[in-house]
Amino acid sequence: MEEKFKTIVNDTFEFSLHSKDLETLDVISDNKKSNVIYNNKPVEVETLGADFRNRIYTLSINGNRYQVKIENELDALITKMGLSLGNDSFEDEIHAPMPGIILEVNISAGDEVKKGDFICVLEAMKMENTLTAPRDGVIKSVNIAKGETVDKGKLLIELEKND
């Protein structure tokens, strides 16, 4: 079975790739720099940064800088369903992992929380999802209220910055 990938460049351009497309590349590489031969034309590629967990790479290609995100078929399905893999929240922020309705808000600005404490409950697709504190800290702001409808990615709660 042939695997399909979606490649997003600079959050602007999307390309579909199939595993057979990758077989047509000739790559000569030392650790950071590679020379790729595609359609009998050489392309110099330098890896400037790599986030392997999220499959996001910063590349310099022929002197131009690009951010490339690679998604497989499972990633595309999860995105289409409005779900996410893992924890999309930052250490100081809690974002809605999917669209839904806020059923409970268990904290207020100024409250002290421990990692794993229940912060709020989000109902999505008829399932209740309890969101927890990503770390020990103090609540800086609460940007939601019980009964509010939220979109995926909305900033729900902020913690004070760690020093």
Q: Looking at the structure, tell me whether residues 62 and 107 fall in a common domain.
A: no
Number of structural domains (the chain) is: 2
In tens digits, the chain (163 residues) has pLDDT values of 567 778 888 878 887 877 776 666 666 666 667 777 767 777 788 888 877 777 888 888 878 888 888 887 777 676 666 555 444 445 788 888 888 999 999 999 999 999 888 899 999 877 888 888 888 999 999 999 999 999 988 999 999 986 5
CA–CA dist 128, 100 (Å, integer)? 9
CA–CA dist 151, 114 (Å, integer)? 26
Q: Does 55 fall in a domain?
A: yes
Map tokens 């504190």 to a residue: 133
Q: Does 81 fall in a domain?
A: no
Q: What DSSP assignment string belongs to 85-126?
A: SS--S-TTEEE-SSSEEEEEE---TT-EE-TT-EEEEEEETT
| Last residue within a domain, chosen from 75, 96, 122 | 75
pTM over cut 0.75: no
Which residue from 48, 54, 50 is spatially nearest to 71, judged by alpha carbons? 54
Which residue from 112, 104, 109, 114 is spatially nearest to 145, judged by alpha carbons? 104
Strand, helix or coil for residue 115 = coil
Is residue 125 within 8 A of residue 69, CB to CB? The reply is no
Residue 104 structural domain: 86-159
| Last residue within a domain, chosen from 75, 105, 122 | 75
Q: Looking at the structure, tell me whether residues 100 and 42 fall in a common domain.
A: no
Is residue 127 within 8 A of residue 65, CB to CB? The reply is no
Q: Does 80 fall in a domain?
A: no
Is residue 19 within 8 A of residue 2, CB to CB? The reply is yes
Q: Does 141 fall in a domain?
A: yes
Q: What is the CATH number of the domain that holds 110?
A: 2.40.50.100
Q: Looking at the structure, tell me whether residues 35 and 94 fall in a common domain.
A: no
